Each structure stands twice: as C-alpha cells, then as structure tokens.
Amino acid sequence: MIGCLVAAWAVRRWRGGARLEAGLAVATWALAAGGSAFLYTLWVPGDAFGTSSDLEVFGLFGVDLVTLFVPRSTMLIPALFGISTPTLSLWGGAASIQYNYLGYLCLSLAAGLLVAMSRAARRRRELARADVTDARTADAATESAMDGAGRARVQVTAEMLAVGVAGVIALLLSLGPVLKVGQTAPGLDAAVMELPTAWLYENVPGLAAMRAVYRWHVVTRWCLLLLAAGGLTALWRGWRGTSRARAVVVVLIAVLAVAEVAPDLMRQRTLRENAIEHVAFLREGIVAEADEMLVDGETILLLPAGDDFLVNYMVPVIGVSSYNAGIDKNYSLALANWPKTVRATVATYPGPDTARHICAVLANHADAVVLAYPDLRSVVLPGVTDAEGESERRAVADELAQDPRFDVERGEWMTVLRAADGSCVP
C-alpha cells in the first residue's frame, strides 16, 4: 500500500511540474524496498534452514474466491440472529476462510465511490475541453463531481485510486499460485488455473518462505474498508442538509456495513477470556515450575524438541538460554545453527541411544536437559489436550531418570537432567 501511495503522490507531483520531487520520492521508496530485501537475504542463511515451502503449500493456504462472498458462522450477524451459513469444505482448511468475507455493503459502497470518481474524471476532461479559464472555478469543479441525480459530491484523489490498486494487488497475492473457486479436491492440478504469482512464491526471497499467503487478504480488507468509507462520505456530502430521513439512511448504511463484516463479538470476548485464563494457567504451572527447577543463566535443551511455541515466552521469563525456539521458521533457523551433537540428540529422541546423546550434550553444550511432559507447541492452545502423548513422554522421562549418569530433579510438568559428577566427560 505504501508503494502505491508513493506512486500516486509522485504522479500528481510530476503532472504538477515538480518532477524532481516525484523522482526523489520514487527513488527513495525503491531504495528502501530494495535495501530491505537485500538485508533480508543477508540475514537468512540461504536455503539451508529449510523454510522455503513446496508450491502446493502456497496453494493450500491461498484464498478461495468463494470465501470472499460467503459469510461465516463466526461473524456477528449470523451469530446474533442464528442464521445458518453454508458449510465450506474447501481445500485449505478452516484457517484461511474464517474472515475472508468482504461484505456486500462494503463492496457496493466501494463500487459507488469508484463510479463517482470515474464521473469526476470525465467531468474534468469535459471542463478541459471547454477551455475553462477561471482557475478557481476549474479547481473547484475538478475537486468534486455530482452523481447521476446531481447530488453526491466526491473528492477525486489519486490516493483513493492507489488504495484500490493496493487492494487488488494484495488480493492477487492472497490467492497464492493458483486460482481456486470452490475447490474441494486437494492439489494444484484441481485449481482453475495457475497464476503469475506462482513464480514469485518460488523465487522471491521472503515470499518464497511465506506459506500462509491468505494473510495478504488483511491488506485487501483494509483497502476495501477505506474505499467503503469514501463511498459513505460521498453519500453524506451529497445528502447532507437535504432531509433528516436521508441522513438517517446514511447512518443506517454505515452501521449495517460495519455489522456485516464484524466478527461475533461475544464469541471473541469468550475466546479472549479463555486465552487469559490459559495464560495464567501456563504461567502458574509449567513456567513457574521451570523457574524453580532451573538456574538463572543456564543453557538448556528441551526434549522432545520441535516447533516449541511456549519456549518463546518461558525462556526469557525464567532467565535461561535455550537451543529450542518457536515459531515455525524460527525453529528452522535455530536448528540450522545447532551443534551436531544437539541435532543428533533431537533427531533420535526417544531411542536406544538417547541417554548417550544427552550425556554428550551435557558434557559439551548445555547445563541441563529438560524433559517436558506437555507438548510445548500445542500446550499454548486453549482447549487442546494430548493425554496419550503426555503419558508417553512421562514414561521416557521415568526411564532416563534411572540412568546413574544423571542428577535428576522431578516435577509435575518436567524432569530436569544434569550431569552427575564425572559421568559425562567432554
């Protein structure tokens, strides 16, 4: 969006004769964008960290066009009035379809604004052909345009067009590498067609590691809301002062437009309350226990290791250092920089050589190895339980706790292993 707004401003300044300013603005934006991309490529250690995804992953998480026009049960109006919404069993799962809905009122308002702006541009051209000589009259005339009935006035700005262009670009990127229209069958081959964005997601740094491409749709929704607000402004300016009834209609349209795309507020409140309660549960449970069992400044390795979401919060809070990291790409980046011994321990856990590998880690790379019972990824999600997996992890910890090479400290949530004196030699 920033690039589109800069381009719009530069075009206007260029046409106004300030070509140096326009050129500097475009050059500054290009340097900033290019410099950011360059710094990103320096920071990321090539493709070794394995975060670049297969193209099918981008297709999986791309927006399906059907979801733009079908409201979900998680939205305000269906929830408020008990309206049943269509069940969408689309390829891509629930994550990418919950809030794609654009809203028919917002689309209508945005379309009305664009029509009014088109009429304004046409009026400007007519005035130019009529050779309007009074500068003030010309400026006033080209700043606004009447609708078909001669009522609504809309300020014609390049910025609003830039917002529209940014929204379209973001929508195209959110679709991923293929066009999906109600696609239920898995795979890229089941899509309507491949899009030019496929090359971007395969080759452009940053984009090639994005995966959840539907998040581009956030920009599209923001752009649509801005255009819809412009449409409401046009209605208000056109009808202001003509009658109270019309003013009420405009306010009612605004309220309905917001309500149509709003989430179910009571559901969101419940989710937030549950999340706050779950954070307190984690903080007073596993995090508090880790704080008691581990020593400030220790370097630890948590096993089993993976995409450990909780580590990002727990480790800084309790004041230790950890090889583990989350989320997603952070884990892949960390994994690429682990010592071979640590990687071997993680890869083979649990297994017949686990105790030997842990001893090697304690001898060379860590002060303590923490055997967590909960899954450190799913435990951060309210309502997600893994009783069977937790039982298996406890059993592995019980077995390792019998090894005489380790000093063992047992807790409700974890077992901490440290090297017994003279047992694990570097």
Nearest to 348 by CA among 378, 305, 389, 397: 305
Beta bridge partners of 132: none
Domain limits, the chain = 44-262, 271-419
**What are the CA-CA distances from residue 258 to residues 75, 77, 103, 231, 297 (Å)?**
11, 10, 9, 13, 50
Q: How many CA atoms does the CB half-sphere of 322 hold within 13 Å?
A: 28
User: What is the tens place of the pLDDT at every residue in 339-389?
Assistant: 999 999 998 898 888 999 999 999 999 999 999 999 988 888 888 888 898
Q: What is the pLDDT of residue 136?
A: 47
Task: Name the β-bridge partners of 417.
Answer: 369, 408
| Amino acid (1-letter code) at residue 171 | L
Q: What is the pLDDT of residue 138?
A: 44
d(CA 379, CA 88): 28
As to burial, measured by CB atoms within 10 angstroms (0-12 exposed, 13-18 middle, 19+ buried), residue 43 is exposed
Query: Quick check: 309 and 380 in contact, CB under 8 A?
Result: yes
d(CA 73, CA 84): 7
Q: Specify the pLDDT at position 175.
A: 92
DSSP one-letter code for 420: P
In tens, the pLDDT along 275-287 reads 999 999 999 999 9
Query: What are the residues facing 77 on neighbouring strands?
Result: none
Task: Give the three-class secondary structure for 371.
Answer: strand
Residue in this structure with the two tokens 């679709």, named with its chain if needed: 175
Per-residue pLDDT of the chain in tens (426 residues, 90 and over written 9): 788 888 877 887 787 778 888 888 888 888 988 888 778 777 765 544 344 567 888 888 899 999 999 988 888 998 888 888 888 888 876 666 778 899 999 999 999 888 888 777 777 777 767 754 454 444 444 444 434 333 334 334 778 888 889 999 999 999 999 999 988 888 889 999 999 999 888 887 777 777 788 999 999 999 999 999 989 888 888 776 667 888 888 889 999 999 999 999 999 999 999 999 999 999 999 999 999 999 999 999 999 988 888 988 999 999 999 998 877 777 877 887 889 999 999 988 988 889 999 999 999 999 999 999 999 888 888 888 888 989 999 999 999 999 999 999 999 999 999 998 877 776
* pLDDT for residue 127: 72
* 327 upstream amide cis, omega within 30 of 0: yes
Q: Residue 329: how many CB atoms within 10 A of its CB?
A: 18
144: left (phi over 0), alpha (psi -120 to 50) or beta: beta
Please, what is the end-to-end C-alpha distance for the chain in angstroms?
Answer: 55
Helices (H) and strands (E) in the chain, counts: 17, 7
Q: Cα 81–82–88 angle (5° rounding)?
A: 125
Residue 3, phi-psi category: left (phi > 0), alpha (psi -120 to 50), beta (remainder)? alpha
Decide if 100 contacts 67 (C-beta within 8 A).
Answer: yes
The predicted model scores a pTM of 0.79
SS3 314: helix
Q: Which helix (H) or strand (E) holds 7?
A: helix 2-15
Rounded Cα gap, residues 392 and 326, in angstroms: 23
**146 by DSSP, 3-state: which?**
coil
List of residues 6+ apart from 102 with CB closer than 8 A: 68, 69, 220, 221, 224, 261
| Centroid of chain to Cα 83 | 28
Angstrom distance (rounded) from CA 35 to CA 38: 5
Q: Could you tell me the two tokens for 189?
A: 């081959």
